[in-house]
Structure 1
Amino acid sequence: MTRVTDTSSASRGHGLRRDIDLLEALASDEAQTAGGLGVVRLACLVGREKTQVSRALKALAAEGIVERDPDTLEYRLGWRLFSLVARTSESRLVRVAEPLMHALSADLEETSHLCVLSDQEVLTLLSVSGHSFRVHGWEGRGVPAWQTSAGRVLLADATPDELYVRFGTTGDMPVPELWGLIQEARKQGYARVSEEFEEGLVGVSAPVRDFRGRVVAALNVSAPKNRLGGRLDEAGRTTARAAARVSALLGWEPRRAQPARTGPT
Structure 2
Amino acid sequence: MAAETATSLKRGLAILLALEGGELGVTRIAELVAREKSQVSRSLKVLAEQGLVERDPATLAYRLGWRLFALAAAAGNQRLVAAAPARLRELVRSFGEGAHLSVLQGSGVLTVASESPPHAVQAVGWVGRIVPAGCTSAGYALLSDHDRRDLASFMPDAAFRRKHPQAPQSADELCERLLAARARGYALANEEFEPGLVAVAAPVRDFQGRIVAAVNVSAPSFRFALRLDEAGAQVRTVADDLSRALGWESKRRAQDASQSASMLA
TMscore range, shorter length: 0.7 to 0.9
Please tell me whether the aligned partners of residues 194 and 201 of structure 1 are also in contact (alpha carbons under 8 angstroms): yes
Check if 1:78 corresponds to 2:65. yes
Check if 1:233 corresponds to 2:229. yes
Please tell me whether the aligned partners of residues 176 and 264 of structure 1 are also in contact (alpha carbons under 8 angstroms): no
Please tell me whether the aligned partners of residues 123 and 143 of structure 1 are also in contact (alpha carbons under 8 angstroms): yes
**1:250 aligned partner:** 246
**2:139 aligned partner:** 151
Task: Name whichever of 217-226 and 179-188 sits farther off.
Answer: 179-188
Residue deviations 1:13-32 (CA, integer Å, cap 9, x gap): 232223223323333xx43x
Give me the TM-score of the superposition, normalised by structure 1: 0.82
Choose the corresponding residue for 1:118, options 105, 108, 116. Answer: 105
| Cα pair distance change 1:191/1:41, threshold 3 Å | farther
| Cα pair distance change 1:76/1:95, threshold 3 Å | same
Check if 1:106 corresponds to 2:93. yes
| Cα pair distance change 1:53/1:243, threshold 3 Å | same
**1:4 aligned partner:** none
Code of the aligned partner of 1:138? W
SS of the residue aligned with 1:258?
helix
| Cα pair distance change 1:64/1:225, threshold 3 Å | same
| Cα pair distance change 1:151/1:130, threshold 3 Å | same
Please tell me whether the aligned partners of residues 104 and 130 of structure 1 are also in contact (alpha carbons under 8 angstroms): no
**2:48 aligned partner:** 61
Please tell me whether the aligned partners of residues 19 and 63 of structure 2 are also in contact (alpha carbons under 8 angstroms): yes
**1:165 aligned partner:** 153
**2:263 aligned partner:** 263
Q: Identity of aligned pairs, percent?
A: 47
Please tell me whether the aligned partners of residues 190 and 197 of structure 2 are also in contact (alpha carbons under 8 angstroms): yes
- CA drift of 1:252 comes to 2.5
Check if 1:202 corresponds to 2:198. yes
Matches within 5 A, 1:1-150: 8-27=1-20, 30-31=21-22, 36-87=23-74, 89-131=76-118, 137-150=125-138
- CA drift of 1:11 comes to 2.5
Please tell me whether the aligned partners of residues 106 and 129 of structure 1 are also in contact (alpha carbons under 8 angstroms): no
Code of the aligned partner of 1:105? V
Code of the aligned partner of 2:156? G
C-alpha distance in structure 2 between counterparts of 1:23 and 1:158, whole Å: 32
Code of the aligned partner of 1:98? P
C-alpha distance in structure 2 between counterparts of 1:201 and 1:9, whole Å: 62
Give me the TM-score of the superposition, normalised by structure 2: 0.82
**1:215 aligned partner:** 211
Please tell me whether the aligned partners of residues 26 and 77 of structure 1 are also in contact (alpha carbons under 8 angstroms): yes
Please tell me whether the aligned partners of residues 157 and 171 of structure 2 are also in contact (alpha carbons under 8 angstroms): no
Q: Which runs of no fewer than 5 residues in structure 1 stay unpaired?
A: 1-7
C-alpha distance in structure 2 between counterparts of 1:59 and 1:223, whole Å: 54
Q: Which runs of no fewer than 5 residues in structure 2 stay unpaired?
A: 161-168
C-alpha RMSD over aligned residues = 2.8
- CA drift of 1:159 comes to 4.5
